Amino acid sequence: MTLFQFTIPPLPHYMASGFTINAPGFKHPGRRRIEVFDLLVVTEGCLYIGEEEQRFNIEAGHSLILRPDAYHHGWQPCKVQTCYHWLHFQTTGGWSIHDSNYSEYEPADADPSAAAAARIFTTQTFIKQVPQFTKLLQPAKVTETIRQLTELDRHNHRSSVSWKQQLLFQELVEQLSASFEMHNSSPAALCAEQAATYLRQHYREAVTAKELGESINFHPVYIARCMQKVFGCSPIDYLTRFRIERAKLLLLQTDQPVARIAEEVGFSHPAYFASSFTKHEGISPRKYRQRFAHG
């Protein structure tokens, strides 16, 4: 496995992110030396990206980080609709790229006492390793973090929001690193991830806590505790949030009536859908469509 190795501090920092939906036949444009790291996380379909002579098939649940100093291109068009999050980040610190079998060289101090004295007044750095291409250990958690970062972009002219984005980005780096450091995963995280995957797959259905528990072989109370710890919300809140995200796409991409969209994403009552949407987005579904779909 190829690893990016960052010398910290300074920390890699977040710049911008977004979500893209490409129709079959789309081919990623060629770009050379874009001067930022480009993280791609596919949620549906498959993205075919080349970096110099290497070729990657980024399927759902996988991520790829493109180098800031290389040539990137689409080596094959998408065969099916492909959805992915993208995120640009950079570092002003040192970085390198190595194979996972690489062993970092740490030179010995010629004069240990002198080196110890010097370290009192100097910043000590350390290494953080992140896989360039990997199957994500917790894809739902990764995509949720990027979604939050993208949502905050609208208000990042405020220092407090920019600070929150940087904190979220450090969480994201840790999530990517955990995909390489498998031993860092906990039973609670794996339980929450399984529950999130089931909810995403069955969001159109009326999922009950009992059905969720039986599907992944965990007690509903334990599932709720794990999801609260990992995602910061209950299973029903996670499901509602995901349904609303799917509804937002349909509001922008189709002319279906709001009531039909509510039914398609799993809400049995249009009025409850409208109130839930307004609570999460601060705007009604109809006004959301008017504002973003029709300018």
CATH code of the domain in which 168 resides: 2.60.120.280
Segments of the chain scoring below 50 in pLDDT: 102-122, 183-184, 295
User: Coil, strand or helix: which one is 97?
Assistant: strand
Q: Is residue 118 part of a domain?
A: no
Look at residue 121 in the predicted model and tell me its pLDDT. 46
Question: How far is CA 167 from each of CA 30, 37, 170, 230, 253, rounded to the nearest angstrom?
Answer: 31, 18, 5, 16, 32
Q: Are strands 71-74 and 37-44 parallel, antiparallel or unpaired?
A: unpaired
pLDDT at position 187 is: 83
One domain for residues 212 and 166 = no
Domain that holds residue 60: 2-109+127-180
Q: Are residues 168 and 251 in the same domain?
A: no
Here the tokens at position 110 are: 């010629």
Residue 156 has a pLDDT of 84
Max CA distance (Å), the chain: 75
91 and 169, same domain (yes or no)? yes
Q: Is 283 domain-assigned?
A: yes
Summarize pLDDT for 173-183 with one digit per residue, the tens: 999 988 776 54
At 272 the pLDDT is 94
pTM over 0.95: no
